[in-house]
Structure 1
Amino acid sequence: MTEFITIATFNFVHEILVLKTILDREGIPYLFQNENLVSTDPLASLAYGGIQLKIHPNDKEVVQQILDNLNNNLKIV
């Protein structure tokens, strides 16, 4: 876990649902730090710095591409 880096931060649990599915499908190891805390108390997101996506540095380029594709193609209203 000490080798993992934070690549993205989210404010709410619903923002990570699609991303979790994609990362699982691709077989990329990840951790969403503070996910359970924010799911039980959404206002704690601001106090704890949000939900942080942590990945291994070797997967940085692949995950960044996935995040870019989601930002360009997935518009949540």
Structure 2
Amino acid sequence: MKTEFYTLGTFEFPADAVVIKGKLEAEGIPVFLRDEATINSDPLISAALGGVKLQVYSSDRERAKEIFDDIRSYATDRLGNPVVCPNCKAAKSEIYYTRSNVFYKLFPFFEPRKYQCMQCNFITRPAR
């Protein structure tokens, strides 16, 4: 039987993922942290690997997403204010990388920062 996983979120630092993992496991949801050991051994390659991926079984997706949405923090601008979606005005955005070409796949830290609204999935670039 093939088991499918759903990536609930990605984190630059393993410690951030471990906090969410603890909450989900306390609620009875098994959690897997992909690339955690690699990034713990060399934190400088986190951006190149796409961070630590917090994964749950696909069958637990909806329940895990509800719990995660209740406790997670969303993207903020340089002043600490929540990034507001220009499309739906929700303050629930996360950093989004397209890694659309080979250069950005090899050097993801050069890609311009974008945000994806978690409510309407609109992708935007911050004002400079």
Scaled to the shorter chain, the TM-score interval is: 0.7 to 0.9
Between the aligned partners of 2:44 and 2:65, the Cα distance in structure 1 is 27
Superposition TM-score, scaled by structure 1 size = 0.80
Please list every run of 5 or more consecutive structure 2 residues that lacks an aligned counterpart in the other structure: 74-79, 81-128
For residues 41 and 51 of structure 1, the distance between their equivalents in structure 2, rounded to whole angstroms, comes to: 12
- Report the structure, 1 or 2, having the larger helix content: 1
Q: Which amino acid aligns with 2:64?
A: V
Letter of the 1:30 counterpart: V
Matched, 1:33 2:30: no
- Report if the CA contact (8 A) 2:7-2:55 is conserved: yes
State the partner residue of 2:9. 8
* CA deviation after TM superposition for structure 1 residue 17, in Å: 2.5
Aligned to 1:21: 22
Root-mean-square deviation over aligned CA pairs? 1.9
Residues 29-70 of structure 1: CA deviation (Å, up to 9, x unaligned) = 121100111111111111111101111111111111111111
Partners of 1:7 and 1:20 in 2: CA distance: 10
SS in 2 for 1:8: strand
**Matched residue pairs, number?**
73
Counterpart of 1:51?
A: 52
CA distance in 2, matches of 1:47, 1:11: 10
- Asked if structure 1 preserves the Cα contact closer than 8 Å seen for 2:6 and 2:57, the reply is yes
Task: Tell which structure's C-alpha radius of gyration is larger.
Answer: 2
Structure 1 residue runs of 5 or longer lacking an equivalent are none
**Cross-structure match for 2:118:** none
Mean Cα deviation higher: 41-50 or 15-24: 15-24
Q: CA deviation at 1:71?
A: 2.1
Q: How does the TM-score come out when normalised to structure 2?
A: 0.51
